[in-house]
């Protein structure tokens, strides 16, 4: 199973949780269940769909290449987006299709876990506090607050940092998804301005998460550009 999953996903340029675990990385508690859906969604018969989805994701969040240092981070974000968020030709996401096909054969506990994967929440979050294995977050787009289990170290982060995160319900708790994007602290005031302009112009939607992800990749790639020329409101907002 592991070898087949590794071979299939490497062919598509993906790095599923089981493969990463073999490479010595810590996978989240929901990893084995996500892997089951990912293995099905990225199988050999899905090659065309995966390639199409990858192009769509790069159009939304910025292009990235295999020789760039952030490639694996971006592919992790892509895989979660592909499996959990993106509807395919039948109008269902891969995890929703998995549930529809497999629900009759699942035990109640497994069914609840896969339903949780179908109800994850990705947004732009602001870090409020991190202590005792929990991280407190404010959702800057959907509103509200989250208190999430996070036992792994997040060295270097501090209150007020902006993060592109996914929250995953699992066995009565909330966990951070494996795909994370940390926006540079130097951009925080400019991100706040983007949020204010988006709110005032009616563009404070979850599309903003992808727009900021594309700005982050420009920040990584063009270090000589001033941060205010990268993290800024979309010019299209003022022209509408």
> Alpha carbon of 204 to those of 40, 66, 131: distances in Å?
34, 32, 30
Distance from C-alpha of 50 to C-alpha of 42, rounded to nearest angstrom: 7
Pick the more confident residue, 49 or 132.
49
- Copy the structure tokens of residue 39: 């293995």
Q: Return d(Cα 157, Cα 129) in angstroms, integer.
A: 10
What confidence score (pLDDT) does residue 181 get?
94
Residue at which a domain ends, from 100, 117, 134: 117
Domain's final residue, options 87, 117, 147: 117
Give me the pLDDT at residue 26, please: 45
CA angle (98 as vertex; 118, 57 as ends), nearest 5: 60
Residues 190 and 163 grouped into a single domain: no
One domain for residues 106 and 49: yes
Model confidence at 211, pLDDT cuts 50, 70, 90, reads very high
Residues 31 and 88 in one domain: yes
User: What is the structure's pLDDT at 151?
Assistant: 63
pLDDT of the residue at 150: 79
Of 91, 117, 143, the position where a domain reaches its end is 117
Q: What is the pLDDT of residue 12?
A: 42
Please count the structural domains in the chain: 3
Please say if the pLDDT value at position 13 is more than 70.
Answer: no
d(CA 79, CA 15): 8
Choose among 80, 8, 78, 84: nearest CA to 42. Answer: 8
Structure confidence at residue 160 (pLDDT): 96
Structure tokens at 101: 């096909």
Which domain does 168 fall in, by range?
122-181
Q: Do 80 and 139 belong to one domain?
A: no
Tell me, yes or no, whether 17 and 70 share the same domain. Answer: yes
């Amino acid at each position: 199973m592991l070898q087949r999953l590794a071979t299939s996903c490497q062919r598509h340029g993906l790095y599923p949780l089981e493969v990463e675990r073999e490479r010595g990385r810590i996978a989240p508690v929901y990893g084995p269940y996500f892997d089951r859906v990912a293995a099905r969604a990225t199988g050999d018969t899905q090659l065309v769909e995966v390639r199409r989805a990858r192009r769509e994701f790069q159009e939304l969040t910025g292009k990235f290449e295999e020789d760039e240092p952030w490639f694996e981070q971006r592919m992790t974000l892509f895989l979660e987006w592909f499996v959990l968020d993106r509807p395919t030709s039948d109008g269902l996401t891969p995890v929703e299709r998995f549930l529809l096909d497999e629900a009759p054969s699942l035990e109640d506990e497994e069914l609840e876990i896969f339903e949780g994967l179908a109800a994850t929440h990705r947004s732009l979050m602001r870090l409020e506090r991190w202590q005792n294995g929990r991280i407190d977050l404010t959702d800057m787009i959907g509103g509200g607050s989250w208190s999430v289990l996070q036992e792994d170290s997040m060295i270097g982060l501090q209150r007020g940092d902006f993060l592109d995160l996914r929250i995953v319900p699992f066995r009565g708790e909330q966990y951070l998804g494996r795909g994370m994007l940390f926006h540079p602290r130097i951009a925080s005031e400019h991100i706040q301005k983007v949020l204010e302009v988006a709110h005032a112009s009616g563009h404070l939607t979850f599309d903003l998460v992808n727009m900021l992800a594309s700005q982050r990749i420009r920040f990584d790639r063009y270090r000589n550009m001033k941060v205010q020329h990268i993290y800024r409101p979309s010019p299209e907002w003022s022209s509408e």
